[in-house]
Structure formats: structure tokens, C-alpha cells
């Protein structure tokens, strides 16, 4: 059974607001999911036409670096631990504009999923906010080993694009690598066409080597990508090759830079 876990004590909320929030804390009857028969893969839509539900992030990467998670108005996103870990502790930095639920009480030892959503900002005496709040989660595995993860919660305006993902899944490192390779192989050659030596036409618009360079600089400056991440070295190689006259697409291939990452970097 799902249990509402708001990140703010209800006693802090003004009475008119309390009435609206308290309703969502009532127990909800659990409905068993219907089990459907397996469908042969040839009857499923090709991966290039299917929307990726969540971003796979390896547990080792998520442990070392802060993981960005976009929050849109009116939409929920998830942080799903698809490992042998369970969530034992949650701390949200900004209590005034984000609420969360877990799929099970923390004390049950079965919490593995967090659902986050934005609300209209609430005013609390002495409370502080931040342009990019963060979320700290501690987990424990069956052997009792603990890990602490940090997530940067990025408030977005407007509505998400049709191919925006719905959160992140923390997975074993080997599984994250398999997903990355499979995603790249399925999309290779399909999402981008060469317009000129320095420009690609993609499903989200045209992107140039200048856009690519700016995207890398912004990702590093905003803290989304640490400078020692291997993807940064690959991106810098793409820029160097392009500066030597190598066509943009060919530079991406020579540097083994994931095409799907290039598309959303430009």
C-alpha cells in the first residue's frame, strides 16, 4: 500500500492549505496489476519510436556525482532504485515547493521508489529556498552497507517535450552500460542527418558544432557533468577533430561519442 510522505509537517501548513493536503494522506486501497501474456518482440514498436520512460544511471556514477532530475509543473517524476538497496533516509533541502511519496514506509525496509512533484510555493517562517534544491538519499543493501546519493532537483518552466523522460532509475553499472550501448546502436543513423560539415539535422532541430561546444560549457558550468567524466574527454575530442576540418558527424563517430547524447547537447 502506498503511504503519503510529505516532506513538510502538516502542522506547519496554514489551515486552508491543510485541508487540501491532508486528503492525499488517506490510505488508498491497493489494486493488483493485471498480468498480460508475453508479446513477441516483433510485435513491439521499434526502440527509436518508443519513448524512454526513465534515464538509467549506474549506481557507481550516482554515488560519485550529483544526478540532475527535472521537475515540471503538474508532472511527477521518479527516482527508482533497481538494485538490491532499500531507502533508509531522505532529506529534501527545500520544503516549500516540492513534495514526495515513497512506495513503502522507510521503516518497513521495502522502500525503493520515490515520486517527486512540485507544488505552489508555501511560506514557512525561517525557511530558505534555492533555485536548484537538492535531495539526499541514504540506502542500505542486504549486507547492511550504506550509500548516500545526491540529486539536484531542477525546476523547469512550461511543458516537457514529448521525449522527455520521467525520472531516473539507479541500476547496477553493468546494466547501465548495456542500456547505453543498446540505445546507441538502435538509434545510430536514424535520429540525425548531415546538413553540412558542421551541422546535423536532428529530431529536435538543427545542431552545429558551435551549439555542441556551448552545450558542453553549460553542462560543466551548471554542474550537470563533472570535468573528470569520460564523456567530457570524448566531447573535447569531437571539438578538436572538428577544428581540424573533420565533419561534425564523422568527428562524433571517431570519438565514439553517443549520438543520442550529442542530439541533446546541441
User: What are the domain boundaries of the chain?
Assistant: 46-182, 189-265
pLDDT for the residue 99: 95
Question: What's the pLDDT score for residue 202?
Answer: 58
Grid coordinates of 150: 545526491
Q: How confident is the model at residue 215 (pLDDT cuts 50, 70, 90)?
A: confident
Fold of 46-182: Immunoglobulin-like (2.60.40)
Question: What is the share, in percent, of the chain residues with pLDDT greater than 70?
Answer: 66
Residues 6+ apart with CB under 8 A from 199: 206, 207, 208, 209, 248
> Rounded to an integer, what distance in angstroms lies between the CA atom of residue 110 and that of residue 99?
20
17-31, 129-143, 152-166, 212-226 — which is least confidently predicted?
Answer: 17-31
pLDDT in tens, 20-29: 433 444 454 5
Answer yes or no: pTM beyond 0.75.
no
Residue corresponding to grid cell 531507502:
87
- Identify the burial level of 180 via C-beta atoms within 10 angstroms of its C-beta, where 0-12 means exposed, 13-18 middle and 19 or more buried: middle
Q: Please report the pLDDT score of residue 123 as a whole number.
A: 85
216-240 average pLDDT score: 84
For 64, which DSSP code? H
Closest CA to 81 of 156, 161, 180, 151: 151
Q: Which residue has the higher pLDDT, 14 or 187?
A: 187
Evaluate whether 201 touches 192 at the Cβ level (below 8 Å). yes
Please give the pLDDT value at position 37: 64
Higher local confidence (pLDDT), 83 or 221: 83
Mean pLDDT, range 215-223, rounded to an integer: 80
Q: Which three cell numbers stand for residue 144?
A: 547492511
Integer Cα distance of 50 and 41 in angstroms: 13
- Nearest by Cα to 138 from 93, 88, 79: 88
User: Of 179 and 7, which is predicted with more confidence?
Assistant: 179
- In what side-by-side order are the strands of the sheet with 205-208? 192-196, 199-202, 205-208
Distance CA 176, CA 139 (A): 19
The answer to whether 200 and 193 are in contact (CB under 8 A) is: yes
Give residue-wise pLDDT tens across range 28-72. 455 555 555 665 655 555 544 556 788 888 998 899 888 889 899
Mark out the alpha helices in 108-258 (DSSP H runs). Answer: 173-187, 209-221, 230-243, 248-254
3-state secondary structure of 196: strand
Q: Tell me what pLDDT residue 89 has.
A: 98
Q: Which residue has the higher pLDDT, 43 or 237?
A: 237
Tens of pLDDT, residue by residue over 155-202, are 888 777 655 678 999 999 888 877 766 655 555 444 445 445 566 765
Amino acid at each position: 500500500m502506498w503511504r503519503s510522505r510529505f516532506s513538510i509537517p502538516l502542522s506547519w501548513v496554514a489551515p486552508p492549505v491543510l485541508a487540501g493536503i491532508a486528503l492525499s494522506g488517506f490510505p488508498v486501497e491497493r489494486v493488483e496489476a493485471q498480468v498480460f501474456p508475453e508479446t513477441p518482440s516483433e510485435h513491439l514498436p521499434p526502440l527509436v519510436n518508443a519513448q524512454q520512460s526513465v534515464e538509467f544511471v549506474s549506481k557507481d556514477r550516482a554515488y560519485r556525482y550529483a544526478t540532475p532530475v527535472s521537475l515540471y509543473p503538474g508532472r511527477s517524476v521518479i527516482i527508482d532504485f533497481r538494485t538490491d538497496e532499500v531507502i533508509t533516509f531522505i532529506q529534501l533541502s527545500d520544503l516549500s515547493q516540492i513534495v514526495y511519496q515513497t512506495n513503502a514506509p522507510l521503516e518497513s525496509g521495502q522502500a525503493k521508489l520515490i515520486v517527486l512533484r512540485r507544488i505552489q510555493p508555501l511560506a514557512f517562517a525561517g525557511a530558505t529556498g534555492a533555485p536548484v534544491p537538492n535531495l539526499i538519499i541514504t540506502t542500505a543493501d542486504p549486507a547492511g552497507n550504506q550509500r548516500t546519493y545526491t540529486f539536484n532537483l531542477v525546476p523547469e518552466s512550461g511543458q516537457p517535450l514529448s521525449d522527455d523522460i520521467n525520472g531516473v532509475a539507479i541500476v547496477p553499472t553493468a546494466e547501465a552500460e548495456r542500456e547505453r550501448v543498446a540505445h546507441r546502436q538502435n538509434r545510430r543513423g536514424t535520429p540525425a542527418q548531415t546538413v553540412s560539415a558542421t551541422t546535423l539535422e536532428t529530431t529536435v532541430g538543427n545542431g552545429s558544432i558551435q551549439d555542441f561546444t556551448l552545450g558542453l560549457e553549460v553542462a560543466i558550468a551548471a554542474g550537470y557533468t563533472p570535468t573528470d567524466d569520460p564523456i567530457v574527454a570524448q566531447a573535447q575530442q569531437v571539438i578538436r577533430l572538428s577544428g581540424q576540418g573533420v565533419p561534425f558527424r564523422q568527428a562524433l563517430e571517431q570519438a565514439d561519442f553517443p549520438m543520442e547524447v550529442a542530439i541533446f547537447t546541441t
